[in-house]
Structure 1
Amino acid sequence: MKNCAIYTRVSTDIQAEKEFSSCEAQEEKIKSFLNSQNDWRVFKVYSDAGYTGVNIKRPALQELLADLKKEKIDVVLVYKIDRLTRSPKDFYQLIEFFEQAKVDFISITERFDTSTPAGRLLRNIMLTFSQFERELTSERTKDKMLERAKKGLANGGLTPYGYIRQDKKLIPHQKEAKEITSIFETYIETGSPASVYQMLKERRIKNRSGKNFSKTNISHILRNVVYIGKVKNKEEIYQGIHDPIISEEIFALAQKIHKEKLKNLRAHKNFLFGGLIKCEECGSHMTSSFTNKRTHGKLRRYYYYRCTSTMKQGWQACSVKQVSAERLENFCLENLERISVDKNYVENLVFRLNNDNQTPLRAGYELTDGCSKFST
């Protein structure tokens, strides 16, 4: 038995009241088509009366799409394609959505039926053209951005801190420009983004969202060529038409300090659980880090998993701060070894992963022979 969703729409309230074009009339004709099919039943009728078809911001359509994600529906039926949408772009996207949800789509008057070979062929042709149009649009956008960069114009996105936009041109913001200068001067004096962070915090200098600058924000500012009057497109740098805030000499010195720090920050260790560990207290990711300590005249390096909130917001942001990499990795490996010989636990874990409603994309795990041999 196939569950069928009926979708109807009319653009205006006046049209909705007309006998031959109302949502009720569309529904009646679709149900007549359904009665001619074997083992098809109406799951639900979704009706948008008085909503335009130029976009998909319609309550009933959004409800339909939500139900499709829950895998409740096998077929979506409309009276005509333009009842679903009048936008070719939206139609391509909806067809892609139906394809991903493994749902057939039928327009009963135009015989557009993706449950048939001919319908699937037409659908695939339409999706191919949709992909072609997206790639073409992407290429046009890249070409426009390159041309803007060659003319010295900054591309779209967030306006860099220290500037405002006037007539599509970057103009230095007097107050913020002074703060950018302070950021570079403090970094050159101390060689530490943490010191810059502390300076901004002490002076109560906030970003445009009213929050403290994170160390990531500070690092981005220190490497942004926009502050020396240039613009960057991919890896190419072009002379901009806007006024610089920082001299090229100061900027070059900041980059030299940054490169020297990178050389010293190489950890020389493979962290087994890099990107996988989260801080229990604040939920932030734990990243690899190390410190050098001199003991009995010898320099020794200690490795840690450090809470990223302490890097972005200061050392006191999280009480966990950092955990010994050796201890954490040994703890995880010992527990994995213990779990691997517990066949019942592994089988239950696979069952939970495959039946967890919160993680539908993970369904399909199996206890393979490679895993089973550890638990026999």
Structure 2
Amino acid sequence: MSKAAIYCRLSEEDRNKASAEDDSVSIQNQKSMLLQYAMQQGWEVFHIYSDDDYTGSDRNRPEFRRLLADAQAHKFDIILCKTQSRFTRELELVEKYIHGLFPLWGIRFVSIVDNADTDNKGNKKSRQINGLVNEWYLEDMSDNIRSVLTNRREQGFHIGAFVLYGYQKDPAQKGHLIIDPEAAAVVCRVFTLFSQGYGKTAIARILNEDGIPNPTEYKRRKGLRYQSPPGKTGTLWKYPAISHMLTNEIYIGNMVQGRYGSVSYKSKQNKPRPKDQWIRVEHTHEAIIGQELWERVQALIQEKSKPFTGGSIGLFAKKVRCANCGYTMRSTKNRGRHYLQCSNRRVSKDACTGAFISVEKLERIVVQELNRLSAQYLDQDELERNLNFSGSLQAQKRKTLDQRSKYQTQQEEFQTGLRELYLDKVRGILSEADFLSLSQDFSKEKELLEEKIAETNRRLEELDVRIAAGDNRRELVQRYANLEHLTREMVEALIDYILVWKRRPGESDPPVEIHWNF
């Protein structure tokens, strides 16, 4: 008997349909339709994979990724969907999986409403047309949404799930901001301290010593489900938060939006936009900072802003991290020499032990290591004996797959735990309050696991790209062999990031760990 894997997806657009009886409105109706079809065909149902509230262009749907991993492992013979668009709306993925990898893996794809079936060679063009139509739908929907959001921004309405620290959403008018008195008092204090001559790191230290939570922690304490960007965790104020606050025009009543834009409708990745493309509307809400104080602060910032070296970007700018806390090390200058230091140690006594190294010393360490690598990789005999580039990447991939599998197993356990909690509540074993408390803990852990799974998926994609590209280390190292000094171009090409530890007593150089791009 053939084994079939059922895949269902419910997106936000489905929730807005008028008829509750529409068979695409609920996951349950999709499951019922597909189960009945599988029974009629005499197929054994291996598993039901179900993604709730995900778009057809989201490649990181957790159950979608799990389905693909199980398909590659050939745990079933058939993938069964309601329509091809439930599996994906991207033509690229239609070609990659439905017409490419699935046949190689021995997997048949069937969608019952639009009659897609990879066992039917005659309807391949129909599947491609379906994929093209779905692709157009995605693009048109993205353009329409972007147009509506741009129009709202141009009218001065706030667009976004969370507002800037110091403000809150006006419950009486959508898109309008009102002052949050508690946070606004902190904003005023920051601007006042800076105008009195305090530095940004010093201000962060003052706020931390007074026990004032940073904007991320403040949002959480207010009950907002705010997710900080990757690598930006903790409750302490730091230099960047103060720096961004002091230059944000929203604090003087001007709405400035559109600083970042998506790379394409297929990706959630955003990139900075040029300043002339920002959408700026004046006097849209009440100001927290008066014009006189604002202008005094901007003048001070202009006076203090000095380029790192002769107007050019620093040699290791944004490439060096403190190994203790992960904070990006900042450049300083003393008696004509340039240094990199972890300023996190200055924002609080217990924040970090701090790492410190001169740019000259770090350049020497990197050049020495690069020349050592060049000597190794340009020795063909040594290269053949020791270099197993593809094998090491494959090992990394296997390790990452195992890690993702563990996360997915834990995720299933949490889902089972949630169901059991609900049954205990129904049976009267758990009170409503206990159920809510426990289920919230389960949900938080489940969300954390989803983030970890998404991160491993991104890592797997990177590894696949590197494996496909082949071993280019020899070419890169050969290009930069026998160096005496580095340029910024070389640093960008060769180095992913560098970790620096605090110098140990009795040693001249701090421990350094270089993560290369090759």
Q: Tell me by how many angstroms 1:231 deviates.
A: 0.7
- TM-score normalised by length of structure 2: 0.54
Instruction: Find the aligned partners of 2:246 and 2:477 in 1 and give their Cα distance.
Output: 52
Instruction: Find the aligned partners of 2:478 and 2:180 in 1 and give their Cα distance.
Output: 66
Greater per-residue strand proportion:
1
Q: Tell me by how many angstroms 1:161 deviates.
A: 1.7
Q: Which residue of structure 2 aligns with residue 112 of structure 1?
A: 116
2:330–2:342 Cα contact (<8 Å) kept: no
Q: Tell me by how many angstroms 1:158 deviates.
A: 1.4
User: Is 1:352 the counterpart of 2:392 in the alignment?
Assistant: yes
Counterpart amino acid of 1:192? G
Q: Which residue of structure 2 aligns with residue 23 of structure 1?
A: 35
User: Is 1:337 the counterpart of 2:347 in the alignment?
Assistant: no
1:279–1:285 Cα contact (<8 Å) kept: yes
Q: Tell me by how many angstroms 1:27 deviates.
A: 5.4
User: Is 1:327 the counterpart of 2:323 in the alignment?
Assistant: no
Instruction: Find the aligned partners of 1:239 and 1:366 in 2 and give their Cα distance.
Output: 53
Instruction: Find the aligned partners of 1:163 and 1:339 in 2 and give their Cα distance.
Output: 53
User: What are the within-5 Å matches in structure 2 for residues 1-376 of structure 1?
Assistant: 6-8=4-6, 23=35, 26=38, 29=41, 45-47=46-48, 65-69=65-69, 71-73=72-74, 77-78=78-79, 81-82=81-82, 88=85, 90-93=86-89, 97=93, 99-100=95-96, 102-104=100-102, 106-107=109-110, 111-113=115-117, 119-166=123-170, 167=172, 168=174, 169-190=176-197, 192-207=199-214, 208=218, 209=220, 211-234=235-258, 235-262=278-305, 264-268=306-310, 273-282=316-325, 284=326, 286-287=328-329, 289-293=331-335, 300=336, 302-307=337-342, 309-310=344-345, 313-314=347-348, 317-342=351-376, 343-344=382-383, 347-357=387-397, 358=400, 359=460, 360-361=463-464, 362-364=466-468, 365-366=470-471, 370=475
| Rg comparison, structure with higher value | 1
1:30–1:77 Cα contact (<8 Å) kept: no
Counterpart amino acid of 1:266? F
Q: Tell me by how many angstroms 1:236 deviates.
A: 3.2
- TM-score normalised by length of structure 1: 0.71
Describe the shift of the 1:349–1:7 C-alpha distance in structure 2 as closer, same or farther (beyond 3 A): closer
Instruction: Find the aligned partners of 1:190 and 1:115 in 2 and give their Cα distance.
Output: 74
- What's the CA shift string for 1:249-300, capped at 9, x where partnerless? 22122222223322x1433466555444443323x1544513132xxxxxx1
Describe the shift of the 1:225–1:305 C-alpha distance in structure 2 as closer, same or farther (beyond 3 A): same
1:197–1:213 Cα contact (<8 Å) kept: yes
Q: Tell me by how many angstroms 1:12 deviates.
A: 5.6
Q: Tell me by how many angstroms 1:113 deviates.
A: 3.6
Q: Tell me by how many angstroms 1:186 deviates.
A: 0.8
Instruction: Find the aligned partners of 1:329 and 1:191 in 2 and give their Cα distance.
Output: 32
Q: Tell me by how many angstroms 1:305 deviates.
A: 3.4
Q: Tell me by how many angstroms 1:372 deviates.
A: 9.4
Q: Tell me by how many angstroms 1:366 deviates.
A: 2.5
Q: Tell me by how many angstroms 1:230 deviates.
A: 1.4
CA RMSD of aligned residues (A): 4.1
Q: Tell me by how many angstroms 1:62 deviates.
A: 5.7
- What's the CA shift string for 1:133-168, capped at 9, x where partnerless? 333333333333333334332222312222222222
Instruction: Find the aligned partners of 2:334 and 2:144 in 1 and give their Cα distance.
Output: 50
Q: Tell me by how many angstroms 1:363 deviates.
A: 1.5
Instruction: Find the aligned partners of 1:190 and 1:233 in 2 and give their Cα distance.
Output: 30
Alignment partner of 2:237: what SS?
Answer: coil
Instruction: Find the aligned partners of 1:288 and 1:197 in 2 and give their Cα distance.
Output: 15
Alignment partner of 2:289: what SS?
Answer: coil
Alignment partner of 1:304: what SS?
Answer: strand
2:195–2:297 Cα contact (<8 Å) kept: yes
Alignment partner of 1:160: what SS?
Answer: coil
Q: Which residue of structure 2 aligns with residue 39 of structure 1?
A: none
Once the two structures are overlaid, the 10-residue window that deviates more, 318-327 or 344-353, is: 344-353
Q: Tell me by how many angstroms 1:182 deviates.
A: 1.0
Describe the shift of the 1:261–1:52 C-alpha distance in structure 2 as closer, same or farther (beyond 3 A): closer
- What's the CA shift string for 1:220-262, capped at 9, x where partnerless? 2212212111111332321243211111222122222223322
Instruction: Find the aligned partners of 2:255 and 2:313 in 1 and give their Cα distance.
Output: 36
Q: How many residues align?
A: 335
Identity score, percent: 18
Counterpart amino acid of 1:334? Q
Alignment partner of 2:256: what SS?
Answer: strand
Pick 1 or 2: higher relative contact order, CA cutoff 8 A, min separation 6.
2
Instruction: Find the aligned partners of 2:159 and 2:53 in 1 and give their Cα distance.
Output: 29
Instruction: Find the aligned partners of 1:236 and 1:9 in 2 and give their Cα distance.
Output: 41
Counterpart amino acid of 1:292? N
Describe the shift of the 1:55–1:352 C-alpha distance in structure 2 as closer, same or farther (beyond 3 A): closer
Once the two structures are overlaid, the 10-residue window that deviates more, 113-122 or 236-245, is: 113-122
Describe the shift of the 1:106–1:247 C-alpha distance in structure 2 as closer, same or farther (beyond 3 A): same
Alignment partner of 2:144: what SS?
Answer: helix
Q: Tell me by how many angstroms 1:73 deviates.
A: 4.0
2:7–2:48 Cα contact (<8 Å) kept: yes
Is there any run of 5+ residues in structure 2 with no aligned partner, and where?
Answer: 9-26, 56-60, 103-107, 222-234, 259-277, 377-381, 401-459, 482-518
- What's the CA shift string for 1:162-201, capped at 9, x where partnerless? 2222222212122222221111111111152112212322
Instruction: Find the aligned partners of 2:473 and 2:202 in 1 and give their Cα distance.
Output: 52
Alignment partner of 2:136: what SS?
Answer: helix
Describe the shift of the 1:28–1:140 C-alpha distance in structure 2 as closer, same or farther (beyond 3 A): closer
Q: Tell me by how many angstroms 1:111 deviates.
A: 4.7
Instruction: Find the aligned partners of 2:109 and 2:248 in 1 and give their Cα distance.
Output: 52
Instruction: Find the aligned partners of 1:151 and 1:64 in 2 and give their Cα distance.
Output: 39
Counterpart amino acid of 1:327? K
- What's the CA shift string for 1:40-77, capped at 9, x where partnerless? xx9x82247xx899879xxxx96673152373249963
Describe the shift of the 1:250–1:117 C-alpha distance in structure 2 as closer, same or farther (beyond 3 A): farther
1:145–1:233 Cα contact (<8 Å) kept: no
